[in-house]
Structure 1
Amino acid sequence: MHKAQSIPHAAKIFSGTASEALAVEIAKHFGCDPGKLSIQRFADGEISPNYLESVRGDYIFLVQSTYSPGDNLMELLLMIDAAKRASAYKVIAVLPYYGYARQDRKDRPRVAIGSKLVANMLTAAGADRIVTMDLHAPQIQGYFDIPVDHLDSHAVFIPYIEQLQLKNLTFAAPDVGATNRIREIASYFNADMVICDKHRKRANEIASMRLIGDVEGRDVVIIDDICDTGGTLAKCAALIKEKGARSVRGNDYAPSVEW
């Protein structure tokens, strides 16, 4: 008897409406075009994705950030379900931005753990693997029972900061939660670090902030993982300038801005 030959699985890249430009760039890097996908929206807001080409037996990469999380997350879940029902071999959800990541624990009574719920929904929809980056807390990976590739944007920003050639470099954590992230980068540059310790009355509203460490005459780079209103970065930058820093830059996993 002849041994059956395995058929190689093709890889196809599709995009939701939240990450079309990124999906085009990713596909271009691999010398192809994004797959053809139609996403219909009914008058009541209902979303209906439809693959316009066969995905049977293929690796399907679905590129979709979940901000603002509601519609884009639902769109991704339906894209996953449609791909599984169309007999895709593997469905890999690529979330450059993972919505609800800030809700990663019960930090006060009677609240949801939103990032765990999102993990459950992605798994239940049929995702075989998750690719995401710069999670608010790395332990969110443990909410999944499927493989997670957690990418780190340090590979992009460290060379950028190096080419700035700042002589008195200091890194600033905009809150205590960012300390570990900043310590790793600061140790790479053999640079000092400071911490902006903030206290909130409620979400998106900072009641007070104080600086732990010395920034006198220093070139400071603030690094955070999420920028919502920008209030934390602005207040942190103002405080650092007030304490005598020579320059302040912000890298919120977005292009560098100098204040």
Structure 2
Amino acid sequence: MNAILMALPGAEHFASHLRGHLGCDAGELLLHRFPDGETCPQMTPAVEGRDLILVGAMDRPDHKIMALYLSACVARELGARSVGLVAPYLPYMRQDAVFAPGQGVTARHFARLLSGCCDWMVTVDPHLHRFHSLSEIYTMRTEVVPAAPEISRWIAANVERPVLVGPDEESGQWVAQVAAGVGCPYTVLRKVRSGDREVAVSLPPADVLAGRTPVLVDDIVSTAHTMIAAVEQLKAAGCPPPVCVGVHALFADAAYAELEAAGAGRIVTCDTVCHVSNDIGMSATLAQAVARMLA
């Protein structure tokens, strides 16, 4: 493979695992910060005529975007044959519509920025709600890697007699896929949100939960309030402490501690966002998608 892999700040650990699966060369990306706060990327070895794979940790993205943009543009200036982005977590997907006067669809603008500096991108389970695929807003080649198979394998290996619980209606189809991979039943709760941090969910059906260990599954865990509300309902139904599984471990502010305090038996996430709860690796599956992009 005539490719060089470089990690943007914060993605070094994930990039190391990814490179191990790809067998490509390791490069070094130096981001020189001038006294006025501007950034100048420097790459070694030379990228001319080679495929460059940039690996970015894109949670809390605003201070990382310029480094990514400039690095991709400089690589093209230096003659890289192609520039690809591995973004295990893809931000700016929630604002997929105008929700209040004076706002815009920032998902489209972020997509235009990345599509203008990269040739391709692979990511894990972006928040696709009003957009059905990334191709609706991204003009570069993209591939979405599902986390469901890896989550199913983890649950099957670590939880006895599981029953999967989706914390809200939006999680229904996704939770069904994970349950099918495990070969266990599932149920989906109904969510009622009265504010950014005020969430209630419906009571789970007792007959589905009887004699099983509940496993709450969601894609993005940010404030964790939906998952906390579901944990409280499961406790009220007399269930054992639930296992909480998330794909992207954003955990804003004290969300992780609050979920623990609510009574979660165990909290597990994929390693798309670096966090102490990471226990489900996605680098091997992402490496397969990268190989397809470079084929």
TM-score bracket, normalised by the shorter chain, equals: 0.7 to 0.9
- Please report how far the alpha carbon of residue 197 of structure 1 lies from its aligned counterpart in structure 2 after TM superposition: 2.4
Check whether the contact 2:51–2:82 (CA below 8 A) recurs between aligned residues.
yes
In the TM superposition, what are the counterparts of 1:15-54 in structure 2 within 5 Å? 15-31=7-23, 34-54=26-46
Spell out, residue by residue over 1:105-134, the C-alpha distance to the aligned partner (whole angstroms, 9 max, x if none).
Answer: 335554332222211100122x11111011
The DSSP-based 3-state class of the residue aligned with 2:132 is helix
- Please report how far the alpha carbon of residue 216 of structure 1 lies from its aligned counterpart in structure 2 after TM superposition: 4.2
Rounded to whole Å, the distance in 2 between the matches of 1:183 and 1:107 is 29
Amino acid of the residue matched to residue 52 of structure 1? T
The DSSP-based 3-state class of the residue aligned with 1:139 is coil
Larger radius of gyration: 1
Rounded to whole Å, the distance in 2 between the matches of 1:229 and 1:235 is 11
- Corresponding pairs, count: 247
Rounded to whole Å, the distance in 2 between the matches of 1:170 and 1:110 is 43
The answer for the alignment partner of 1:195 in structure 2 is 188
1:148 and 2:139 aligned: no
* CA RMSD across the alignment: 2.3
1:123 and 2:130 aligned: no
Where does the alignment leave 5 or more consecutive residues of structure 1 unmatched?
1-8
In the TM superposition, what are the counterparts of 1:1-259 in structure 2 within 5 Å? 10-31=2-23, 34-125=26-117, 127-137=118-128, 139-141=132-134, 142-167=136-161, 169-203=162-196, 205-214=197-206, 215-253=209-247, 258-259=265-266
Check whether the contact 2:86–2:123 (CA below 8 A) recurs between aligned residues.
yes
Structure 1 runs (4+) deviating above 6 angstroms are: none
Check whether the contact 1:218–1:247 (CA below 8 A) recurs between aligned residues.
no
Check whether the contact 1:116–1:140 (CA below 8 A) recurs between aligned residues.
no
Check whether the contact 1:83–1:91 (CA below 8 A) recurs between aligned residues.
yes
- Please report how far the alpha carbon of residue 11 of structure 1 lies from its aligned counterpart in structure 2 after TM superposition: 0.5
Spell out, residue by residue over 1:51-110, the C-alpha distance to the aligned partner (whole angstroms, 9 max, x if none).
Answer: 132101111100002121101122211111111111111111110111112222335554
- Please report how far the alpha carbon of residue 185 of structure 1 lies from its aligned counterpart in structure 2 after TM superposition: 1.6
Where does the alignment leave 5 or more consecutive residues of structure 2 unmatched?
250-263, 267-295
The DSSP-based 3-state class of the residue aligned with 1:55 is coil
- Please report how far the alpha carbon of residue 237 of structure 1 lies from its aligned counterpart in structure 2 after TM superposition: 1.3
Moved more, 40-49 or 68-77: 40-49
Amino acid of the residue matched to residue 79 of structure 1? S
Alignment TM-score, normalising by the size of structure 1: 0.85
The answer for the alignment partner of 2:286 in structure 1 is none
* Structure ranking higher on relative contact order (CA contacts 8 Å, 6+ apart): 2
Spell out, residue by residue over 1:192-223, the C-alpha distance to the aligned partner (whole angstroms, 9 max, x if none).
Answer: 322232233443x0243223533344311111
Check whether the contact 2:159–2:213 (CA below 8 A) recurs between aligned residues.
no
Rounded to whole Å, the distance in 2 between the matches of 1:31 and 1:157 is 25
Moved more, 101-110 or 231-240: 101-110
Amino acid of the residue matched to residue 243 of structure 1? A
Relative distance call for 1:157 and 1:120 in structure 2 (3 A) is same
Alignment TM-score, normalising by the size of structure 2: 0.76
Identity over aligned pairs, percent: 23
- Please report how far the alpha carbon of residue 244 of structure 1 lies from its aligned counterpart in structure 2 after TM superposition: 2.2
Rounded to whole Å, the distance in 1 between the matches of 2:228 and 2:199 is 14
Rounded to whole Å, the distance in 2 between the matches of 1:75 and 1:213 is 49
Check whether the contact 1:216–1:244 (CA below 8 A) recurs between aligned residues.
no
Relative distance call for 1:176 and 1:74 in structure 2 (3 A) is farther
- Please report how far the alpha carbon of residue 18 of structure 1 lies from its aligned counterpart in structure 2 after TM superposition: 2.3
Rounded to whole Å, the distance in 2 between the matches of 1:191 and 1:105 is 35
Relative distance call for 1:179 and 1:105 in structure 2 (3 A) is farther
Check whether the contact 2:219–2:247 (CA below 8 A) recurs between aligned residues.
yes
Check whether the contact 1:15–1:34 (CA below 8 A) recurs between aligned residues.
no
Spell out, residue by residue over 1:24-73, the C-alpha distance to the aligned partner (whole angstroms, 9 max, x if none).
Answer: 22223344552021112234433321113210111110000212110112
